[in-house]
Structure 1
C-alpha cells in the first residue's frame, strides 16, 4: 500500500530526526495560544459581583446619607445577607434604618439606572461593558456558544481547503484570519459586532489544531505518532496554564484579547521554515516541491538524499490509493451495518468527550476557589494525566481506558453534587481530579478513533467526529445557564452525557495490537491481531 511505501521512504531519511523535532516545535507554538483563545471567555465574559446603581439618591434629602445607609434603604437583601444584584426598592425604605432589618414583602423593581460592579478582580469584562447581567445574563454564555459555532464551521471549511490547497497554505490563511479578527474583536464597540468578530475568529482558529497536528504526524514515522499526540496535548496545557497569568496581569478584557492574539501574529514569521507535507505534495503530483522538502529533511538529519526513482515509484502507488479514496463520501460511513454502528457510537463518544471537558472548563467558579488559581490548577492537573495516557492505553487497552476515564469523570461530577459548599477543599479536589480524567479522555479519543476507522475513510471519520465534538462544546455553555432554574440541573445533564458516552464506548471494538483496517471490508469482517 502507498502509505507503507511512503513510511519506508521517510525512514530512509530518519522519521524522527532533528528536522522533525524542529518542525514539531514550531508547530507546537500556535497550539499554545490556541488554547488561550478557546477558554478566553472564562475571563473576558466573567460576571463580577454587582448591584443596582443608586447614585441618583445623592440629592436633596439624601445628601447626608452614607453609602451603607443608601444601600439599606434602596436595595433588598438575599437569604445569605448579600444585596440582590438585580432589584431595588420601588421607594426608599427609611424604616429599615431604624430597625436594622429587611422586610421581604416590600415592593421591588428591576434596576433603573444601571449597575455598579466590583472591579477588584477585573477592571472590565464584556459583561460589565455591555451590562450582560440579570435578564441579559445569558448573552455572555451565548457569546461563547457563537464563538464555538465559528470553530465548528471553520473545521468544515478549512478541512476541505487543507485537502485541496495544502496543510501549510491553509494553516497560514487560518492564522491570518485568527489574528485579524482577533484584534478586531478587541476593538468592537458593540456586543453584536463583538460576537460576529468572535465567530469569525473561531472560523480561523479551527484551522490551527488540525493542520498543525496533521503536518506534524505526516512528517514523522509511525512509531513516534503517539509522542506527537502527547506533545500536542502538553502544548495545549501550557497555553491553559499561561492564560490565567496573562489575565491576572491585564485585568481588562480588550487588553487580554490582544495579549493572547499577538503571539499568533508572531508565529506567522515562522512560516518560512515550516515545510509543506511531502505526503500531500506527492498525492497531488507536485513531485519537485516534495523532493525539495525531502532533500531538506535528509540534509538536516544528515542522511543521503532519496533517489528520484524511489520518489516517483512512491508517487505512482500514492496516486492509485488517492484515486480509490475519491470514490468514497461521508455517506459510506453509514452504508454498511458495522460501519454504521461504528459511526453512531464514535459520534456519541466525541460529543460526550467535548461536552464534558468544556462543561468542566467553563464551570470553574463552581468549586470554591479563586478564578485565576482554579484555572491554573485545572490546567496543571492535565499534564500528568495526559502523559500517563499512552502508558495506560498500551497496558489496559483503548476501549477500557476510554470508557473508564469517562465513567470516572461522571462519578466526580456526581460526587460534587452531594458535597456541601462549605467543604470547598473537598469540592475543589474532586473537581480537579475530574478535570484531569476529562483531559485523559480527550487525549485518548484521538488515537482510539484513528485506529477504529479504515484508512480509506479515516480522514472523513475524524472530520465527522470532530464536528460532533464541537457541537457538544457549543452546547456546554448553554447547559450551564440551567443552573438558574435549578443549581443541580447542569451537573445532572453533564453526568447523563458522560455516563452515556462511557457506557456506549464499551460497545466499540478493542484496537490494542489489532491491525489497522484499510477498507470497509476490514470493518465488516472480524479483525485480526498482530502476533
Structure 2
C-alpha cells in the first residue's frame, strides 16, 4: 500500500478529494452518536396527584418544588400515593424525550435503554459490516451504510412513541458502523508518514463537531427535541458527495486479485495527479535482454516521479518495491515502482501475490495462531475500556455539577489539545508507548477524582473534580483515536476491517454499560472515577505485552505478523548480548 501511495505522489488531487469527502462524513456520525445527551437528558421533576393541572408544561423558571420523587404526599392523611396526575418537569415538556413520554420512575430505564440499543445495533452491525467490507469492497459497503443512515436519523425526529424511537436508535447504531469502513479506507489511502496527520485531523474534526453540536443545543434550548434531531440529520446528506468522489480502495483491489480494475483505477489516479507513466525496456537502460526480462518477469516497471524529466527516466535503475531499503516504494531518484498487472506467471508476480492475499481469514484463524491470539485479546480489552470510559464521561455530563451543555462543551473542547498532543506523539514515539502512557494518565486522573469525592467539599470539590475528570478525558480521547490506528496496523489486509469490527464489538460492550454511569454518579458520586480509573490501570499493564507497529508496512498475511515477533525477539537478544558485553 505504501508503494502505491508513493507512486500516486501522496498527497495528490486524487487522494485529497476523497479524503476531504470521507472526513466530511464524520459530521453525521459524531452528532448522532451523542445526541441522546441533548434529547434524552432527565430534567428534575415533581409528582402530582389527580387534582392538579395535568397540562402543566413546567419550565426552568417554575416555582414548583422539583424533588424527583415518584410519589405524592397527602397532607391530610400523611400518606404517600402514586402520581395519579402525572409529572411536572423543570424543563419544556417537549425539550426531551424523558419529559414528553414521562420516562421517569418505573419508566426511567427506557431512556437508558434507547442508548443501550444504539450500542447493541453497532455491535450487531459490526458483525456483518466488517466481513462484507472485506469481501465486497470499501466503497459499496460504505455507501450502502451511509444511505441507510440518512433514513434512520430522519426517522428518529418523526418517532410517534418511545418504542419506535428505540427501534430506530437500534437501526441507527447498526448503520452507524460506517466509521469502521471509513477509517480503514483512510489508512489504505495514505502511506505511513501521513497517517499521524490524518489521525489527528480525524480526532480534531470529531471534537470540533461535538463543540458545534453543543452550540446548536444551546441555541435550541427550550425547543422541541424533534427540531434538534432534524437539524443534525441534515449532515447525513453529505452522502451525495460520497457517491460522486469516493472510489474503491486500490489496496483492496490488489489484495483481492482484481488487477484489471486496479490497473484501470491506478491509471486514472496517476492522470489526476499529473504523473506520467513510462515502461522501461532493455535498450532504454543499456542492460542486456536477459536482465531486462528478469525485471519484467518479476513484474516491475519504471514510473518516473513528477519532477523527473522523461528523458532522464531511462537512466534510473529498476527498484524492487519489496526491498526493505525502499519501504515507501521510491528509489533514490524518486522513481516509483509499480507491479505489472498483466504478468501473472512469475513466482513473485502481483497476480500471484494478490491471489495469495485473497485467502479468507476468520477469527478462528487468528485465535489458532499464537502470535495473533494475544493481539486479539489485547485489542478487545483495549476497545472495551476505551469505549466505557470515553462515553461514560460524556453521558454523565448532565448529571455532574454545573450546566449540562457547558459540561458537554468543555468535555469536547479538551479533546482538541489531546489530539494535537497525539499528533506529536505519533510522529516521535512508538504506538505502544503512547497507549501505555496515555492510559496511565487517564487512570491516575480518574482514581484521584474518586478519592476527591471523599476528601473535598463545596466549591473546591466541584472545581477540582471537573479538572481531574477533564484530564482523564484528555487521555482517553487520545487513546480512543490511537486504537483505530493501531488496530488497522496490526491486522492483515483481508482481516483489517474485520479486526476493527472485533474491536468495535468489544467497544459496544463498554458503551452498553456507559449510559448507566449517569445513574451511578447520582447514587455513588465516587463510583465512576474508581471503576474507570481501575480499568485503565489494568489496561496499562496489559498493553506492555502488545507488539509495536510504528514504521512498519501494513501486514498482508499472518506470516508478516509472525515475522514481527521474530524480529522483536532477535532485537531483544541483541540488546541482552550488548548489555552483557558492556557489563563484562
TM-score with structure 1 setting the length:
0.84
- The residue that corresponds to 1:234 in the other structure is 204
- The residue that corresponds to 1:96 in the other structure is none
- The residue that corresponds to 1:411 in the other structure is 444
1:87 to 34, 50, 71: 71
- The residue that corresponds to 2:374 in the other structure is 341
Q: Is the 8 A contact 2:50 2:84 kept in 1?
A: no
1:156 to 127, 134, 156: 127
Tell me the SS of whatever aligns to 1:47: coil
In structure 2, C-alpha distance between the alignment counterparts of 1:211 and 1:345, rounded to whole Å:
21
In structure 2, C-alpha distance between the alignment counterparts of 1:224 and 1:497, rounded to whole Å:
32
> Does 2:505 align with 1:467?
yes
- The residue that corresponds to 1:200 in the other structure is 171
In structure 1, C-alpha distance between the alignment counterparts of 2:140 and 2:35, rounded to whole Å:
26
Q: Is the 8 A contact 2:340 2:350 kept in 1?
A: no
- The residue that corresponds to 1:440 in the other structure is 478
In structure 1, C-alpha distance between the alignment counterparts of 2:396 and 2:68, rounded to whole Å:
22
In structure 1, C-alpha distance between the alignment counterparts of 2:378 and 2:253, rounded to whole Å:
34
* Structure 1 residues 119-142: Cα deviation after superposition (integer angstroms, max 9, x where no partner): 26x842111111111222122111
- The residue that corresponds to 1:220 in the other structure is 190
Residues 31 and 291 of structure 1: is their aligned pair in 2 closer, same or farther, counting only changes over 3 Å? same
In structure 2, C-alpha distance between the alignment counterparts of 1:172 and 1:515, rounded to whole Å:
28
Residues 459 and 413 of structure 1: is their aligned pair in 2 closer, same or farther, counting only changes over 3 Å? same
> Does 2:314 align with 1:273?
no
1:246 to 206, 210, 216: 216
In structure 2, C-alpha distance between the alignment counterparts of 1:143 and 1:461, rounded to whole Å:
27
**Bigger shift: residues 513-522 or 269-278:** 513-522
- The residue that corresponds to 2:38 in the other structure is 43
Residues 350 and 195 of structure 1: is their aligned pair in 2 closer, same or farther, counting only changes over 3 Å? same
Residues 109 and 412 of structure 1: is their aligned pair in 2 closer, same or farther, counting only changes over 3 Å? farther
1:178 to 149, 161, 182: 149
Give 1:179 deviation, angstroms.
0.8
- The residue that corresponds to 1:108 in the other structure is 80
Give 1:284 deviation, angstroms.
4.2
- The residue that corresponds to 1:100 in the other structure is none
Residues 462 and 322 of structure 1: is their aligned pair in 2 closer, same or farther, counting only changes over 3 Å? farther
**Bigger shift: residues 438-447 or 386-395:** 386-395
Q: Is the 8 A contact 2:415 2:477 kept in 1?
A: yes
Residues 472 and 314 of structure 1: is their aligned pair in 2 closer, same or farther, counting only changes over 3 Å? farther
Give 1:467 deviation, angstroms.
1.9
Tell me the SS of whatever aligns to 2:459: coil
* Structure 1 residues 473-527: Cα deviation after superposition (integer angstroms, max 9, x where no partner): 1221135434455343333322222222222112324444567665253255342
**Bigger shift: residues 305-314 or 125-134:** 305-314
* Structure 1 residues 16-67: Cα deviation after superposition (integer angstroms, max 9, x where no partner): 11222221111111112211111111111111121113572479xxxxxxx9
* Structure 1 residues 208-234: Cα deviation after superposition (integer angstroms, max 9, x where no partner): x12222222222333212222222212
2:420 to 372, 387, 391: 387
Tell me the SS of whatever aligns to 1:525: helix
Runs (4+) of structure 1 exceeding 6 A deviation are 306-309
**Bigger shift: residues 134-143 or 478-487:** 478-487
* Structure 1 residues 305-364: Cα deviation after superposition (integer angstroms, max 9, x where no partner): 577974515885265345345253211222244432232222212211111111111111
* Structure 1 residues 391-417: Cα deviation after superposition (integer angstroms, max 9, x where no partner): 224544322321221122122222223
- The residue that corresponds to 2:314 in the other structure is none
- The residue that corresponds to 1:521 in the other structure is 562
Q: Is the 8 A contact 1:282 1:290 kept in 2?
A: yes
Tell me the SS of whatever aligns to 1:56: coil
Give 1:272 deviation, angstroms.
1.1
* Structure 1 residues 208-266: Cα deviation after superposition (integer angstroms, max 9, x where no partner): x1222222222233321222222221221122112112222334221122211112124
- The residue that corresponds to 1:146 in the other structure is 117
Q: Is the 8 A contact 2:192 2:551 kept in 1?
A: no
In structure 2, C-alpha distance between the alignment counterparts of 1:221 and 1:513, rounded to whole Å:
10
Q: Is the 8 A contact 1:515 1:529 kept in 2?
A: no
Q: Is the 8 A contact 1:166 1:280 kept in 2?
A: yes
> Does 2:457 align with 1:420?
yes
Residues 415 and 109 of structure 1: is their aligned pair in 2 closer, same or farther, counting only changes over 3 Å? farther
Tell me the SS of whatever aligns to 2:88: strand
Residues 409 and 513 of structure 1: is their aligned pair in 2 closer, same or farther, counting only changes over 3 Å? same
In structure 2, C-alpha distance between the alignment counterparts of 1:314 and 1:302, rounded to whole Å:
25
| Residues 498-513 of structure 1 aligned to structure 2 (within 5 Å) | 498-512=536-550
> Does 2:362 align with 1:329?
yes
- The residue that corresponds to 2:341 in the other structure is 312
Tell me the SS of whatever aligns to 2:81: strand
- The residue that corresponds to 2:15 in the other structure is 20
In structure 1, C-alpha distance between the alignment counterparts of 2:543 and 2:44, rounded to whole Å:
42
**Bigger shift: residues 49-58 or 437-446:** 49-58
Q: Is the 8 A contact 1:407 1:499 kept in 2?
A: yes
Residues 322 and 90 of structure 1: is their aligned pair in 2 closer, same or farther, counting only changes over 3 Å? farther
Tell me the SS of whatever aligns to 2:341: helix
**Bigger shift: residues 239-248 or 306-315:** 306-315
Residues 435 and 318 of structure 1: is their aligned pair in 2 closer, same or farther, counting only changes over 3 Å? farther
> Does 2:495 align with 1:478?
no
For structure 2, which runs of at least 5 residues remain unmatched after alignment?
Answer: 55-61, 280-299, 302-338, 575-584
In structure 1, C-alpha distance between the alignment counterparts of 2:343 and 2:537, rounded to whole Å:
46
In structure 1, C-alpha distance between the alignment counterparts of 2:187 and 2:343, rounded to whole Å:
18
TM-score with structure 2 setting the length:
0.77
Give 1:195 deviation, angstroms.
0.6
Residues 369 and 13 of structure 1: is their aligned pair in 2 closer, same or farther, counting only changes over 3 Å? same
- The residue that corresponds to 2:265 in the other structure is 293
> Does 2:262 align with 1:262?
no
